[in-house]
């Protein structure tokens, strides 16, 4: 098996595993009366959109990371990936289970900065491959707007 394919599969495992862990730690949204009673943004997408969006994002992000780690060997990449992974896992339980909606905004901001850092630091070397990060950045912007709306309207 080619090294980039092995890395791609490894990053898929880590990234989808992180999503699963975050979902497990958040508890059930369907049974969450607190979330059901929130005044949510009018542009909040239906629930199924979140699964589709995260699926696309994690496929693109895993492909990006596999290309990045094949192209550039630097410890900072591991640190930045670990930080982004932890922030991504942490947001769901912080927001849904513990109802720390203000902290949710901080986490989303830090996660956005991590992914933007990947883009800005390595775009010259990876060129168009860096655009695989755009779905993640756009989705984080949407997530921030939804979280922000909840903070300021509840």
Q: Please write the tens of the pLDDT for every residue from 9-47.
A: 999 999 999 999 999 999 877 677 899 899 999 999 998
Residue 141 to residue 13: CA distance in whole angstroms: 25
Distance from the Cα of residue 27 to its chain's centroid? 18
Is 3-153 CATH 3.40.630.30?
A: no
Q: Average pLDDT, stretch 119-148?
A: 97
Backbone φ/ψ region at 99: left (φ over 0), alpha (ψ -120 to 50), beta: left
DSSP element (H, E) containing 144: helix 134-153
Q: Please write the tens of the pLDDT for every residue from 43-68.
A: 999 989 999 999 999 999 999 999 99
Residue 105 to residue 80: CA distance in whole angstroms: 19
In the chain, what percentage of residues exceed pLDDT 70? 99
Give residue limits of the domains in the chain: 3-153
H helical segments located in 3-133: 3-26, 33-36, 47-71, 75-92, 101-126
């Amino acid at each position: 098996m080619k090294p980039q394919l092995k890395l791609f599969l490894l990053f898929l495992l880590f990234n989808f595993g992180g999503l699963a862990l975050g979902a497990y730690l958040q508890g059930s949204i369907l049974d969450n009366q607190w979330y059901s009673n929130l005044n949510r943004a009018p542009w909040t997408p239906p629930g199924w959109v979140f699964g589709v969006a995260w699926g696309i994002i994690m496929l693109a992000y895993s492909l990006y990371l596999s290309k990045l780690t094949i192209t550039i060997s630097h410890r900072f990449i591991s640190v930045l990936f670990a930080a982004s992974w932890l922030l991504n896992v942490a947001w769901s339980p912080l927001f849904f289970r513990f109802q720390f909606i203000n902290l949710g905004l901080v986490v989303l901001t830090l996660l956005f900065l991590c992914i933007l850092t990947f883009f800005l630091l390595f775009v010259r070397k990876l060129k168009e491959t860096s655009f695989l990060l755009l779905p993640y950045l756009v989705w984080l912007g949407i997530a921030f707007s939804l979280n922000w709306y909840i903070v300021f309207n509840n």
